[in-house]
């Protein structure tokens, strides 16, 4: 029997300025996502959970909480951007268009800089510009983030699958 390796994400050596990564899946945001997160975060802005109030705002229905939008779009990019790293910072988050329950989100990230880490030689820093698009191709979020990414030879995921004990 031959074990076939699955996708393990990109390592520092795999990134080049100008590369564009598009999420291979989309994620439909539903009302339950919005209500759960709004309750968990104690966000009392009624535009996220009160349909009657939202009708008076010009949006006509509740808006998806912007942090839900950020979390979903960032999560869609993890397999390509940060599966072998961790976020260092977020810059200039913009929300040019609203997201509503039933919208499907996609993530597209462009590598804008790549550099070795001066303090962690086993890692490097990758900066990307990410845009979240809805099902109609409308940009709903746009931001930059920096990620500390492992070099392939030093990644902690190497050899983490346990040896099977038959018996």
| Domain extents in the chain | 12-153
Mean pLDDT computed over 92-109: 98
**Contact assessment for residue 83 and residue 9, using Cβ atoms and an 8 Å cutoff:** yes
pLDDT at 167 over 70: no
**pLDDT over threshold 90, residue 163:** no
| pLDDT score of 53 more than 80 | yes
Higher pLDDT, 18 or 6: 18
| Tokens (6 digits) for 51 | 């349909």
Which class would CATH give 12-153? Answer: alpha beta
Interval 13-19 mean pLDDT: 97
Mean pLDDT of 35-59: 93
Predicted confidence at residue 137, as pLDDT, reads 98
């Amino acid at each position: 029997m031959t074990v076939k390796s699955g996708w393990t994400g990109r390592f520092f050596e795999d990134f080049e300025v100008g590369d564009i990564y598009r999420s291979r899946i989309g994620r439909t945001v539903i009302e339950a996502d919005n209500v759960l997160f709004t309750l968990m975060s104690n966000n009392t802005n009624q535009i996220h959970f009160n349909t009657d109030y939202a009708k008076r705002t010009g949006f006509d229905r509740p808006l998806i909480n912007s942090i839900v939008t950020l979390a979903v779009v960032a999560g869609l990019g993890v397999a390509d951007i940060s599966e072998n790293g961790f976020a260092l910072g977020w810059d200039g988050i913009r929300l040019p268009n609203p997201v509503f329950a039933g919208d499907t989100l996609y993530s597209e990230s462009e590598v804008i800089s790549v550099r070795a880490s001066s303090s962690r030689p086993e890692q490097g820093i990758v900066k990307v510009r990410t845009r979240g698009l809805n099902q109609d191709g409308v940009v709903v979020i746009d931001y930059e983030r920096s990620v500390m990414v492992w070099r392939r030879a030093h990644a902690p995921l190497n050899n983490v699958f346990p040896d099977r004990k038959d018996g």
